[in-house]
Structure 1
Amino acid sequence: MTDAEELPKISMLWESADPGAALIERFGFASAAEAMDWVTGVLAEHWGLRVTACERLVISDTNCLAWISVDGSRMIAKWSMRPRVFARLAAIARLTVWLGECGIPVSMPQTARDGRVQVEGDGFSLGLQRVVDGELLDVTDPVQVRAAGEMLARMHAAMAAYPERIPTDEPPAPGAQLVGNDFRSANIIWSGGKIAAVLDLEETTYRRRVDDLAQAAVLLGTRYHHWRPTPADVRGAFVAAYESVLPLAEDDAGSLEDGIEAHVRSIRWPG
């Protein structure tokens, strides 16, 4: 176990499931102590690092995240035990590194001793990254909304040039490009008057960038619970900022409005 005096708390990121039961059913650990013993061993073996404390364990779908202290630094170890997603997780980790090298602010995966940025072992796939300090994007602040629109445009431009194929369930449709597919407040860290990091690229897929923009415009203010559609004036400012960097083709203007309306209608918003 770690040097921490107290066991980490276990919680669900957004689901209503029992976290203790999910830890057993999805990851095979009977307790937080057992999970942390395992994480400590993996990081020692593959990264040569010593875990000194664990703040919490958070379960999100098929992923478990551990907020840990390693040699005085706060880090997040994130792993899956679903082999069918391992190739995709490794590809997403390589994409994240590439985006960081292109100047997109991301939480760069930490390289293991053998050079891998996503380590696969006996039934697991695990990545390690540093915690990026800051606050979640606030869509009531026009400065942050504008920065978000500009950032999504920069990401679209960069991802369109990505040379590697990301595994997806279906081949890309005509006109599709690589997009993040989950650009919203819960995944955007604001610090020091700028976007410090865009997190969680695991939903990355191939679609038209106008469709990704429409989705982001509607969901920009969402976090983990109690979702509401982004207000229309905020959506407008966000789209305008996007187009100041990467204008839409004339034919896409109508598609954008149709896409925004479709997302507003299709999502089951709280009453």
Structure 2
Amino acid sequence: MTEAEELTKISMLWESADPEAALTERFGFASAAEATDWVAGALAEHWGLKVVACERLVISDANCLAWITVDGCRMIAKWSMRPRVFARLAAIARLTVWLGERGIPVSMPQAARGGRVQVEVDGFSLGLQRVVDGELLDITDPEQVRAAGEMLARMHAAMAEYPERIPTDQPPAPGAQLVGNDFRSANIIWSGGKIAAVLDLEEATYRRRVDDLAQAAVLLGTRYHRWRPTPADVRGAFVAAYESVLPLEKDDAGSLEDGVEAQLARIRWPG
């Protein structure tokens, strides 16, 4: 691992903090090499896999992601240092597998020995998934916008049937269903003329699907920095594609408009 460790880069996903300091303060690793050794050991013990290279480490709040190579396959190991969300992370991993089994393109977690898809080890909650190659969704391409609207509708329809309760801070309000709550370009991979994967369901919660649609319509083009609201014409095309698969109830038209306006007003957009 020595040569791989020397090549490992470390960065922050969206914060302006110093990544090396964050790695030590949040996760207790003195260096990227030490973190690489830890993840290699954890995957060997719990998955029976050998890490042959670690390309980079990326820190996002309480999570650390490692882009690794295992037996010639590129994978991502992701671990959290916040114990209060461990049960929720395990539930989200099971939801992701369930969606994948029903034809929703997701990056399905790879089960460890014993069948668990999220493993608690050394005070962290660790999961493993394959890298999905492609580009982030481009909202300047009408084909991609249409596919995104249709995909969100498919996800809403599937998640409404999910049999397990996802842990949340508050019980669901009347009319709420399980939704992804973070459907946007940063979490959508486009490849081969279609959506190859919807990533990162960690924000999943219970709310009205019209509210989730309004949020997605406004934030569809956002990635990691310098957010801009989705242009009105793109929002319209996105919503139309959604309704071609899963029409809104008659009373939801006004709610969608109100939701879009609330999202536009809620965020402090860059000048």
Question: What TM-score bracket applies, with the shorter chain setting the length?
Answer: over 0.9
CA deviations over 1:225-255 (Å, ceiling 9, x no partner): 0110000000000000000000000111000
Q: 1:208 to 1:133 in 2, by over 3 A?
A: same
How far off its partner does 1:54 sit?
Answer: 0.7
How far off its partner does 1:82 sit?
Answer: 1.2
Q: How does 1:184-223 map to 2 (within 5 A)?
A: 184-223=184-223
Give 1:233's aligned residue.
233
The letter for the 2-side match of 1:128 is L
Q: In structure 2, the residue corresponding to 1:104 is in which secondary structure?
A: coil
Q: How does 1:22-171 map to 2 (within 5 A)?
A: 22-171=22-171
Give 1:267's aligned residue.
267
The letter for the 1-side match of 2:221 is G
Q: In structure 1, the residue corresponding to 2:127 is in which secondary structure?
A: strand
How far off its partner does 1:266 sit?
Answer: 0.9
Q: 1:65 to 1:102 in 2, by over 3 A?
A: same
How far off its partner does 1:5 sit?
Answer: 6.0
Give 2:174's aligned residue.
174
The letter for the 2-side match of 1:99 is L
| Alpha-carbon separation, structure 2, partners of 1:94 and 1:178 | 14
Give 2:242's aligned residue.
242
| Greater displacement, 114-123 / 187-196 | 114-123
| Alpha-carbon separation, structure 2, partners of 1:192 and 1:236 | 25
Q: 1:142 to 1:3 in 2, by over 3 A?
A: same
| Alpha-carbon separation, structure 1, partners of 2:20 and 2:221 | 30
Q: In structure 2, the residue corresponding to 1:156 is in which secondary structure?
A: helix
How far off its partner does 1:120 sit?
Answer: 1.1
| Alpha-carbon separation, structure 1, partners of 2:162 and 2:26 | 32
| Alpha-carbon separation, structure 1, partners of 2:29 and 2:270 | 33
- Where structure 2 has 5 or more consecutive residues not aligned to the other structure, the ranges are none
Q: 1:2 to 1:183 in 2, by over 3 A?
A: farther
CA deviations over 1:178-203 (Å, ceiling 9, x no partner): 00000000000000000000000000
How far off its partner does 1:114 sit?
Answer: 1.3
Question: TM-score with structure 2 length normalisation?
Answer: 0.98
The letter for the 1-side match of 2:128 is L
The letter for the 2-side match of 1:26 is R
- Where structure 1 has 5 or more consecutive residues not aligned to the other structure, the ranges are none
CA deviations over 1:60-89 (Å, ceiling 9, x no partner): 111100000011000000001211110000
Q: In structure 1, the residue corresponding to 2:6 is in which secondary structure?
A: coil
Q: CA RMSD in A?
A: 0.9
| Alpha-carbon separation, structure 1, partners of 2:95 and 2:46 | 21
| Alpha-carbon separation, structure 2, partners of 1:141 and 1:131 | 24
How far off its partner does 1:26 sit?
Answer: 1.1
Give 1:11's aligned residue.
11
How far off its partner does 1:8 sit?
Answer: 1.1
| Alpha-carbon separation, structure 1, partners of 2:25 and 2:97 | 31
Q: Matched residue pairs, number?
A: 271
Contact between 1:2 and 1:51, CA under 8 Å: does it hold in 2?
A: no
How far off its partner does 1:3 sit?
Answer: 5.0
Q: In structure 2, the residue corresponding to 1:6 is in which secondary structure?
A: helix
